[in-house]
Amino acid sequence: MKKSITKLADGRELIYYDADESSAVRDVPDPRPLTPVESRPELRRDEATGDWVTIAAHRQTRTHLPPADACPLCPAREGHTGEIPAADYEVAVFENRFPSLAGGAGRCEVVCFTPEHDAGFADLTPARARLVLDAWTDRTAELSALPGIEQVYCFENRGAEIGVTLPHPHGQVYALPFTTPRTAKMTAAAAAHRSATGRNLFEDLLARARTATERLVLAGEHWTAFVPYAARWPYEVHLYPNRRVTDLTRLGEAERDEFPALYLDLLRRFDRLFGLPDPTPYVSAWHQAPARGGAELALHLELFTVRRAPGRLKYLAGTESGMEAFMNDVAPEEAARRLREVR
């Protein structure tokens, strides 16, 4: 992998990733007359729950659903400049111009998977998906080492139903100055399980899923995809490496080599679920251990859609948005069966 680091006109970092290590260094200047980003997000702790809330009022002015010919994530061309000044790229990562976290309160990055505006992650080749995996891994390693960073979160939101404001295929990486509530809950559950059984919670969950084949979706030599026993979303799949590791940096070459084809298969099954012309909206989220600690946790990817049936979305009702008590309309075993059988 070739990594080329440069700067945008306002001083933000831009990184190009190329699969071929012999590729020329990309260092095209950004011609835009940009002023430095002025963002002052504020972290506030909810005393009633202990959760951290980010106040980022400056994001109200961020770019919202621009026309395709004004997409800021497309490569530069005559008459068009955006966040990526090169005329072409493979994978590009840059600091978000409208970050939820910045400065001493963390960092937000945008990951562009492809220069093709109308593509999606599911349209990538296995080689390109592997390059994205390598970029995620590199960002995890570098951001985890920054002072004050407690957790690195790599994710993709796809679809207007999810709230995506830029349709160009991309994801994000957040370097958080705190451990997220979900990770804190998993850490506590893993500690309780170890105390009660002497075993690792996530190793037991994976073993149970591989045995309970009614919830199994895909199984490779190094990865397993399954619907969790208590799935919260209508179609929710967790993808685990069969060998427990705590974060992306600890995956071996065999695991990295197998991941792309299996993940692309899973995404394409999601797109075929409802037989609709428009792609299935989804969230794809990497769960990693905190930068310091979390030895009992297990790296895994959570993929879910808010679509529950053709033309119907699952909205968070009062019990879910108000009390965090999820209620699922689709049985996990039925969701797994449909994902196994979809063609």
Cα–Cα distance for residue pair 214/159, rounded to 1 Å: 29
**Residue 87 token pair:** 């005329």
Backbone Cα Rg of the chain? 20
CA angle 135, 137, 141 (to 5 degrees): 115
Backbone angles phi, psi at 194, to 5 degrees: -65, -40
**Residue 230 token pair:** 């208590």
311 burial level (CB within 10 Å; 0-12, 13-18, 19+): exposed
Return the SS3 of 204: helix
CB 93 within 8 A of CB 141: no
Cα–Cα distance for residue pair 219/240, rounded to 1 Å: 10
List C-alpha distances in Å: 283 to 103, 190, 206, 307, 314: 26, 24, 21, 11, 13
Instruction: For residue 69, give the amino acid letter.
Output: D
> Is the alpha carbon torsion for 70, 76, 80, 83 positive or negative?
positive
Cα–Cα distance for residue pair 297/312, rounded to 1 Å: 34
Question: In the block, which residue shows the tokens 């990693």?
Answer: 288
Residues paired with residue 302 on neighbouring β-strands, in sequence order: 238, 285
User: What's CA 39's distance to the chain center, in Å?
Assistant: 23
170 is a catalytic site residue? yes
CB 15 within 8 A of CB 7: no
What are the residues whose beta carbons fall under 8 Å from the beta carbon of 319, sequence distance 6 or more? 325, 326, 327
CB 307 within 8 A of CB 274: yes
Identify the active-site residue in 170, 193, 222, 300.
170
Positions marked active-site: 170
